[in-house]
Amino acid sequence: MQGNSDKVNALIQGEIIPRMVTVRQRFEASKLEDPAAALREQLERVRQTIRPGMTVAVTAGSRGIDHIDLLLRETVQFIRSAGGEPFLVPAMGSHGGAVAEGQLALLESFGITEETMGCPIRASMEVDQFASLPDGTPVYIDRFAHAADGIVVVNRVKPHTGFRGPHESGLYKMMCVGLGKQKGAETVHNRGRRRMGETIQLMGQQFLEKTNILFGVAILENAFDQTYRLFALLPEEIPEREPALLAEARDLMPRIMPERLDVLVVDWMGKNISGTGMDPNITKSFAHDYGISREGRARKIAVLDLTEQSHGAAVGIGSADTTTRRLLEKMDPNTTYPNLLTTGGTDSAKIPMVFDDQRLAIQAAIKTAVGADRANLRMVRIRDTLHLETIQISEALARELQDDPRFEFLSGPEELPFNENGDLF
């Protein structure tokens, strides 16, 4: 793809980028000081589920959960101490390019290997159908997990990026999408986006009733993505406890406190940040056909780069309005498209306007923010949708929020420090 012409650049180079003020947003900061000890205490209440000699599959997902390597290792050691024979299975649907090697590479990027975990990792995309929904929809499970004597499900509980229901991202989803591998994830999505909440609930119940789920480890994180609380839940406890944990997780989520934004600048998007690259619970950039309100979305969103940990997967770039050539060149269809072909969410990879440098991408977002008061632009810049404590806000917003106790003013106002190439980093 060729670069922008002088004619195109001339249309946007005159746009004034406001001076920015660095502020700290105040969120709930409580966390577990010793997550490993807290998990060991919780696991003792489910010790009776492990029989000596039984093989136990433990799920390992594709999300960047705080201390996930530590928590999985503690779970493995607990199972072994109770006489079980643990092993890990990648439980991440179609992620990792929908191939076993790609899923192993994702786990390794989180520090999860056979050496660090002290147990085998059995990776395959093979599945078994073990149940059907009342309408005939098949329910699938990872073949290695299905052959084990028991299964332990480990996941963070949090609001999903694309649907609402009593069970969103959590233990239910880890079962029917994670353990379902690519085929299971595709089946879930093919039942219809607007029915995702219903499908997750129905399929999850099939797992609880017809497979040997021993227990689940449910993790809650605070606004700083630090381990806040965790629980070991017996199968019969999961249906009732998970919705309450989801509600608590929603309250704990960080957010961009300034409202009615003209422009939102996101430095980094990526699979290690959110399943959709940028969490729409933060940006409000939900797809219309998911049936979730987009109220609160900035007029325009500029995203500047793709994380290395994404391995080229740019799912969610379609939520942006402008981006950079640097990001586009990192995008790999071989890791981006399998997820979209599985879910049907082709809108997630639609390419926004692409510009040669980060300054032009921001200026283009400002120029196209129809209805914005250019003299008092309401603009926010964030590192990514995971890290929202320290953000930058435009001078106009700073004047409005100067007496708001939710904000601590740190520095500025100052010009954004673009280098000679027109980039911030």
In this prediction, residue 34 has a pLDDT band, given cuts at 50, 70 and 90, of: very high
The residue type at 43: L
CA distance 357 to 21: 22
The pLDDT, as a whole number, for residue 114 is: 96
CA 371 to chain CA mean position, Å? 31
CA–CA separation, 141 and 187 (whole Å): 12
Could you give phi then psi for residue 176, rounded to 5 degrees?
-80, -25
Mean pLDDT of the chain: 93
pLDDT > 90: percent of the chain: 75
Q: How far apart are CA 282 and CA 296, in angstroms?
A: 10
Total length of the chain: 425
Q: Taking Cα atoms as reference points, which of 232, 213, 231, 229 lies closest to residue 221? A: 229
Token readout for 137 is 């929809």
pLDDT given at position 28? 83
The per-residue pLDDT for range 318-374, each reduced to its tens digit, is 999 999 999 999 999 998 888 788 777 788 889 999 999 999 999 999 999 999 999
* Nearest-angstrom CA–CA distance, 157 and 419: 40
Contact 276/238 with Cβ under 8 angstroms?
A: no
Q: What is the CA radius of gyration of the chain?
A: 22
CA distances from 233 to 42, 49, 211 (A): 9, 11, 16
Domains and CATH numbers, the chain: 9-27+255-414 (no CATH), 35-252 (3.40.50.11440)
pLDDT score for 290? 55
Amino acid 287: pLDDT:
62
